[in-house]
A = this chain, B = another copy of it.
Amino acid sequence: MAYELYYWDGLQGRGEFVRLALEEAGADYVDVARSNPDAMTALLDSTTEPHPPYAPPFLKDGDLIVPQTANILFYLGPKLGLAPKNDALRYVANGLQLTIADLVTEAHDTHHPLASALYYEDQKDAAKARSADFIKHRIPKFMRYFERVLVQNPDGKKRHMVGDALSYVDLSMFQIVEGLRYAFPKATQHFADHYPHVVALCDAVAKRPNIAAYVASGRRIAFNESGIFRHYAELDHAVR
């Protein structure tokens, strides 16, 4: 039976981390809310579902609903051949994925630092302050860490975040680098100089046949200003 992915239509958002894993593995899945948004709302609002999810994305595999991006990938990873075979390393992978999730939340909050319920235009000054800090302190802290992880992973030949083969964490690294580049083209201009192994990993992911085919297919929604990574020129600036 096909996996059912539930996520908002019209944006990549957190759902894209799951889509990349499903696409890389060539898994059979349905992106339910893109054709039937009411089905997602029904599950979110259900008063009878044994384990209702709080928010999208969530995955439905038969009767089981698995919510939260990192949790979905932890669940799917072994089934899709995209998790380390070693049990201990699966917790390393999950720790990395949760650190990626932290960066994603912070990237969202650059344009919505005061309230998700308010328009960007109504929190633009705060967004400028938060973005300046994100560019100056947070992007470098995360990216230096990810670079170290690649270099220090004893099994990865500096090409994999965890273990000796491609995992969902590698795919997610591709997604955050793509997202940061879209949102902050100036601030990320020197990524290849500063974080060469991270950028090499992302280039390698982009060239994988199933990922390249997915990107070329048009099924990958373009980055846009409904998503998590948004480009507002006034929030971006170059760094040394």
Contact of A98 among B68, B75, B88 (CB under 8 A): B68
A48 at the interface (CB under 8 A from B): yes
A74 x B54 contact (CB < 8 A): no
Interface membership of chain A positions 203-220, coded 1 if the CB is closer than 8 angstroms to chain B and 0 otherwise: 000000000000000000
- From A2-10, A19-27, A149-157, A185-193, the one touching the partner chain is A149-157
Tell me the complex Cα distance, A152–B130, Å: 39
Task: Say whether, besides A113-B113, A126-B129, A129-B115, A66 and B54 are in contact (CB < 8 Å).
Answer: no
- What is the total number of copies of this protein in its complex? 2
B52 touches A149 (CB 8 A): yes
A239 within 8 A of B: no
Residue among A58, A74, A102, A114 with most chain B CB within 10 A: A114
How distant is A118 from chain B, measured CB to nearest CB, in Å? 7
For the complex of A and B, 9 pairs with smallest distance between CB atoms: A115-B133, A67-B95, A68-B98, A54-B99, A114-B129, A51-B92, A68-B95, A50-B154, A71-B94
List chain A positions with a Cβ less than 8 A from chain B.
47-55, 58, 64-68, 70-71, 74-75, 88, 91-92, 94-95, 98-99, 102, 105, 109, 113-118, 123, 126, 129-130, 133, 137, 142, 145, 148-149, 152-154, 162
